[in-house]
Amino acid sequence: MGMVDAPLTLAELLPNAAAITVLTGAGISTDSGIPDFRGPQGVWTKDPAAEAMSTIGAYLADPEVRRRAWRSRRDNPVWGAEPNAAHAALVELERAGRLRALITQNIDGLHQRAGSGAGTVLEIHGTLRDAVCLSCGLRTPMPEILRRIDAGEDDPPCAECGGIQKSATISFGQPLDRDVLDAAVTAARSCDLFLAVGTSLTVQPAAGLCLEAVEHGARLVIINAEETPYDGLADAVLRRPIGETLPRLAGIALGGGR
């Protein structure tokens, strides 16, 4: 299938899609002031050492990495970020009964803040909004731990067992949550339109969900600033800004035609 960027094609695809599965990446949250990781202004592009904070071995072995990680969590732009028009467009699709699932690689919780249902959102890389103990598994809302950072602790141990805590995100070297991943694969296989938004589609297994969807008969639409490895599979590829494009597509899908 060729790459097309034709409103006519989208006007045909979108209104007829009864079960839409969406995969979102960092690009949907940049309008909310949250930088991506791998882009020109990305967190890891500008500071390669920051990647160590997201690697479980280094995190467990080195208290200095943990201290730096806690400071980074405290100062994360997530805490001041608000959902944007693209997040809101997906809420509209869900409320209209058109969304099969909303799979996100993001850890910012902005989909839920925008009004997406907790049962609809599948956070395959976890969330920054909770902390988890790596020994006993206790989950604590992140703001509670950050208050301890502000009070002077630099590597706060678990209140229950004294173990090492980190954000409830999936670090390099940690397994994904099998239940969440299974639900994501099922959603990819059982949709008639798969929409990939703001993701480079380079991180597996998230990227492979595009292939799962297409192999099970879904149409594929990709909205991303840069090329992705899956563009050649797509029925439509759009390079325009997500904050304008996604609300327009939701409008077409819901019959408003905006």
Helix extents (H) in the chain? 7-13, 43-46, 56-61, 63-74, 85-95, 110-114, 142-150, 178-189, 208-215, 242-253
List the beta bridge partners of residue 132.
139, 166
Position 2 scores a pLDDT of: 42
Q: Kindly indicate whether the domain formed by 36-80+129-169 is annotated with CATH number 3.30.1600.10.
A: yes
Q: Is 50 helix (H, G, I), strand (E, B) or coil?
A: helix
With 80 as the cut, is the pLDDT of residue 48 above it? no
Over 60: is that where the pLDDT of 41 sits? no
What's 1-34+83-125+176-258's CATH class?
alpha beta
CB within 8 A of 249, min separation 6: which ones?
A: 10, 14, 89, 195, 221, 223
Q: What is the reported pLDDT for 46?
A: 64
Q: Above 50 in pLDDT, residue 4? A: no
Q: What is the mean pLDDT of residues 193-207?
A: 94
For residue 113, count CB atoms less than 10 angstroms from its CB and return exposed for 0-12, middle for 13-18, buried for 19 or more. Answer: middle
Beta bridge partners of 237: 222
Residue 43 half-sphere exposure toward CB, CA atoms < 13 A: 16
pTM of the model: 0.91
Mean of pLDDT over the chain:
91
pLDDT attached to residue 50 = 73
pLDDT tens for 49-84 read 677 788 999 999 999 999 999 999 999 999 999 999
DSSP, res 206? T
Q: Is the pLDDT of residue 102 over 60?
A: yes
The pLDDT value recorded for residue 54 is 86
Neighbours of 35 (CB within 10 A): 15
* 125 catalytic per annotation: yes
Domain locations along the chain? 1-34+83-125+176-258, 36-80+129-169
Average pLDDT value for residue range 166-184: 95
- Candidates 87, 111, 125, 216; catalytic one: 125
Report the distance separating Cα 161 and Cα 23, nearest Å.
Answer: 36
Burial class (CB in 10 A: 0-12, 13-18, 19+), 143: exposed
